[in-house]
Chain A
Amino acid sequence: MTRKQRRASLVGLAVAVLGLAVFLVVYALRDTIVFFHTPKEVVEKQVPPGKRIRLGGLVAEGSLKRGTGLSVEFAITDTAKTIPVSYTGILPDLFREGQGVVAEGKLDASGRFQADYVLAKHDENYMPPEVAKSLKEQGLWQHTGKETKDRGQK
């Protein structure tokens, strides 16, 4: 092989791997990413039932109900709109009424959010930045503190 051919084979290898990676990335970015919405956006943008999203807001005061076994119901609110949520499993340590929460899952046909994964991020004065931002936009929130992270899984 000449020097040129050798170089061409190396470049070919690099291009092939890079092409494969680009294909995988584009494919994965289309299928695996999850959009974040506040309850208000869910209503306004008419997020279709069955689409996987992250729903973020505050746990509405007085909404937490423990059912039989491990099932729980609560509601997520951004003060403008409120969406009821069902979840089965252990809630994260940091889960509290009135605190920030992010739930991942799908809306069912009745408009109830079926979460299969709940994420609470806060300390005494922390809430998820997305929530803080949307509350800020509504003029209801001023502070962001340092963060910790916690999540519950099914």
Chain B
Amino acid sequence: MIVEFGHFALLLALAVALVQMVLPALGARTGDANLMRVGEPAALAQLWLLTTAFAALTYAYVTSDFSVENVWANSHTDKPLIYRISGVWGNHEGSMLLWVLILAVFGAAVAIFGANLPWTLRANVLAVQAAIAVAFLVFIVFASNPFTRIPLQPEGRGLNPILQDPALAIHPPLLYAGYVGLSMAFSFAVAALIEGRIDAAWARWVRPWTLAAWIFLTLGIAMGSWWAYYELGWGGWWFWDPVENASFMPWLAATALLHSAVVMEKREALKVWTILLAILAFSLSLIGTFLVRSGVLTSVHAFAVDPRRGVFILMILVVLIGGALALYARRAPYLRQGGLFAPISREGALVLNNVLLTVGCGTVFVGTLYPLALESITGDKISVGPPYFNSTFAPLMVPLLLALPLGPMLAWKRGDVPGALQRLLTAAVLSLLALVVTAALARRGPWLAPFAVALGVWVAAGAVCEWASRIKLFSASVEEALRRAANLPRSAYGGMLAHAGVGVMVIGIAATSAWQSEVVLTMKPGERAEIAGYELTFRDVSPRRGPNYQEQVGLLTVSQGGSAVTELHPSKRTYDAPRQTTSEAGIHAALSGDLYAVLGDEVAGSDGAWVIRLYFNPLVRLIWIGAIIMSLGGLLSLSDRRLRIGAPRRARRRPEAATVPAE
């Protein structure tokens, strides 16, 4: 009954979305305020209806209602409650429902906080949001319906065990919040094109939404990487897997968009480009969503399994992306161009950032989709792996990181590179020092690695130098510096923090990629192994029973220089349903590096010997710490008054506040 109620709410949401797509846009065209006013209540109604539908599906999962096909196919009565709930979005149909629910949340946010947007712009934005919702709701109702009933089954088939993990329970919602958040930039871009008018206020409106989406994406991707690291037992943190690339491409585009929106807001330049980026960023989100969930990545032939779904997906992509780009082609030439600037200037640096990020995104796109294209054209099956990305994407990031600390030091309109370099002298010295020290310490690994570490130090230290130079830390009195530090806007702190996070992450990536140690060996109880200065003793393997799995838990004691450090418990789990084995790595985490142990198979015919794989991943934590610092920077920037969602104008009082002495 509740399930039918949810199904009904879903259908009703589609009807409401249709109304919201048509009437406000019509009103904006004819200047009819009553029609435009339909947008807000419709957006709120959508939110309530979709919340109801989502709650109904969650209810079916929690109560294990196996007369619902989706629940039967993806759940099991043995599962702990949290995984019964996360099972709702651990599959294609449920995740699509989550997607539209988040879309409705963003739509409702425009309705609630958009009171001071120009009327017609708000109406058009809500109409475009509704158009996206219509496309997805039609897809869900007709090709991916999670409420489909089947004859009651005694037991469900269970959720894929590797998805039964806390990080993966929250990873999809975070990622989706990021994907869908970019729909705001898209809707604003399309609405601006419909109106044929765009100004700095537009950028001020779009930035907070993009920033919020970017924070979610950053955290979501980092969470996915962290999960892959400890759950898959491969000792790596990023595999250039198409599923990872699908989330990385929108992130790159969103990062570029954030930066070009700054130029547009501050200098009214790059308008046409910013609009295009907004469209592209969301298009990549759409492609990412479908790539991951449609099964097309496994093979283009997955489309053939359910052709209706494939056709629907292609139609949505063609209509939304193609429509927006067509509108762009028609209207963009008429947008008024703004501010002039010299190539060497803050704007110029941001253009460089945009060019490198979008071209980098393009190389990832080619590497991800080339196998699909080749297979559907020639039938040849190929795999494009890390070597491709390391030799295309990575080289493009080098100039980006080199230029990164310089950009914020350049003045708007016309910059001065020698002057900027002078203020970055400390960072340059530190970076050189890092190069010399790492090159001296590293007795193995690629010769490029110390340069990569130095690059990371350059970026991180550059952010600190920027702060020091902005508050005149050493050139003015301490009071003056403190006063300046207090008056620096939060968005400035946010930017510097995010850049520092990039630097920290680059150091982690360089160190762990170049100097990871790995040992694979068979160990009998009592035997010892050594890795990266740690001494490990294999004790035993004992069976243990979990809530819905049986596991073999290994015990390794770790000591360093004769004193005990910790114990590692790598395990092998065999789940009851579906009957599948997963490895749980035993990890000793430290800032200097992770000790990482994976339990292999028992060696047949030997008494108690097991295959064990050990890794030492130096500085690997810096990768996720860097991502968290970046997100914190984003959050700090988002909390800036000027950018706060709903604040239409720059806070007028700021110039006066700045003149009030700190005392």
Contacts and interface: CB of A to CB of B under 8 A. Distances in A.
Partners in one complex: yes
Interface of A: 1, 3, 6, 9-10, 13-14, 17-18, 20-21, 24-25, 27-29, 31-36, 54, 66, 69-70, 89-91, 93-94, 104, 123-124, 129-130, 133, 144, 146-148, 150-151, 153-154
Contacts of B162: 148
A144 B340 contact: no
B387 A32 contact: yes
B351 A93 contact: no
Interface residues of B, number: 56
Contacts of A93: 572, 581-583
Interface string B507-538: 00000000000001110000000000000000
Interface string B115-154: 0000000000000000000000000000000000000000
Nearest to B578: A123
Contact of A90 (B341, B382, B578, B601): B601
B359 interface: yes
Contact of B359 (A18, A54, A90, A144): A18
Contacts, number: 121
Contact of A6 (B305, B341, B395, B581): B341
B564 interface: no
Identify whether the interface residues of A are mostly helix, strand, loop, or mixed: mixed
Nearest to B577: A124
Nearest to B387: A32
Interface of B: 160, 162, 232, 234, 295, 298-299, 301-302, 305, 340-343, 348, 351-352, 355-356, 359-360, 362-363, 366-367, 370-371, 380-385, 387-388, 391-392, 395-396, 520-522, 572, 578-583, 598, 600-601, 603-604, 611, 613
Contacts of B601: 90-91
Contacts of B351: 10, 13
Contacts of A150: 232
A57 to B, nearest CB: 13
Contact of B391 (A3, A28, A90): A28
A6 B342 contact: yes
Nearest to B583: A93
A66 B603 contact: yes
B342 A32 contact: no
Contact of A153 (B234, B352, B582): B234
Q: Please indicate which of the listed interface residues B302, B359, B370 has the most CB atoms of chain A within 10 Å of its own CB.
A: B359
A40 B332 CA distance: 54
A32 B371 CA distance: 12
A1 B348 CA distance: 14
B370 A133 contact: no
A96 B36 CA distance: 62
Q: Please indicate which of the listed interface residues B383, B385, B581, B603 has the most CB atoms of chain A within 10 Å of its own CB.
A: B383
B305 A144 contact: yes
24 contacts: A6-B341, A9-B343, A17-B359, A21-B362, A24-B363, A24-B392, A28-B387, A28-B391, A29-B366, A29-B370, A29-B384, A32-B388, A32-B391, A35-B382, A70-B611, A90-B611, A91-B601, A93-B572, A104-B383, A123-B580, A129-B298, A130-B381, A133-B299, A147-B298
B289 to A, nearest CB: 18
A88 to B, nearest CB: 8
A66 B380 CA distance: 33
Contacts of A69: 522
